[in-house]
A and B are shown apart, each in its own frame.
Chain A
Amino acid sequence: MANSLAEQLANLRDTRVWRSIFRSGFGPTNLHRALAVQQNVFLHLSSVKIRKRSLSFRVTWFLGTLSLGTFLILVATGIPLMLYYHPSVPQAYADMKDLRFAVSAGVFLRNLHRWSAHAMVLLVFAHLFKVFYRGAYRPPREFNWVIGVVLLMLTLFLSYTGYLLPWDQLAFWAITVGSNLISAVPVFGTKIRFLVLGGHTVNANALLRFYVLHCVVLPLAAAIFVAIHFWRIRKDGGIYSGEIKKP
């Protein structure tokens, strides 16, 4: 039975439809493996071959991969959560209660989203320090380091804008304190704060603005910068795996 299933799968991979979707055929040679990466729009951000040493856990602790993993989990949980969320005052808070008590698996999705967000901040910070201590920021990777710093800031902004959305006491006062920090910016502070909040206080306008930033603007920006980040890893010579020792 299993054998025939495998055969059928192999047959499926030989069909015209399969080949029209994946371009390359499936086979046992390195050429096929190379094509699987090179012919895929997402995978081809990576090179076809990578250094064996850069795959060992010791080198990277997989922190970059895991950061991407949390981002994917956040997208996957965030989109269903959006279906039960109204960014308005005080309905947003009622939706939190609904997610907890009335929506099947709502509390699980929210928990997973929340804890993954914390994990992402932690992992991105850890990634930054790990890259620094390995010296992986050195040329030709210096610009990828800068993109990494941009991604760190995007992560913090994403987490911070998401913090307001439950519209509970924790959210309201954290954002009140945080947005008053913006007013401390010389000259333009109060203006910028007014634009960010869409008013003088944290209110319905602020909630809606943070919602749009959190669900559309910042994830899109993060996705674009992640793509550049991965592409630059490839272009700058692959994952840095330390000084090459004399044989």
Chain B
Amino acid sequence: MKELEKTKHISISTVVFILVILIGILTFKKPTNVYKKTNRETLAMVNTQDYLVDYSNVDPSNSVFIDIRDRFEYSKGHIDNALNMPTADILEAESIARFDDLTNKGKTVVFYGKNQNEANSAWMILYQLGYDNIKILNSTTQLVDNRFLVTDFDLEKPVPNYLDIFKGNTENSGGEQTMAPVTPKKVIAVKKKKKRKPEGGC
């Protein structure tokens, strides 16, 4: 019987171990909304500009406009036939079901907001979740005189000749070609991670 006493601890811990695993498995829920694209794939996609679509190029028979601004902005004016889905709601089960449905039908979804940037976050999140058929409308939109205007807008273009503003510097300096004040470049020393030597062992 003394031997049995010894194994009592083992039995108890075994039962606890198995119970914990069982409870874990019974209460386990599969994660929803898993990323299908890696960071690098996303970066590559973002660089292509393929996801931007001009208003004139949108095929109305095969596309659905989605207005990602909030409900109030949407109620004031929107593109005809556009659905409203604020950015904050894009991951709700209802919205995901709608995206799945549109994807299955082979439709193109076009996001738009006040400008491209507003629609960008919603697009990027959904793109990373694997929805390839979503595009961003390459325009800004605004309400002018109760008409909803869609204007083409070029992204990431610097203001033309913006460096001219610094020309005041060089007026009297004998035609020197210093355009902008030299910005000091910050130098930051980065320490390499130190590898700790292996230790220990029994």
B partners with A: no
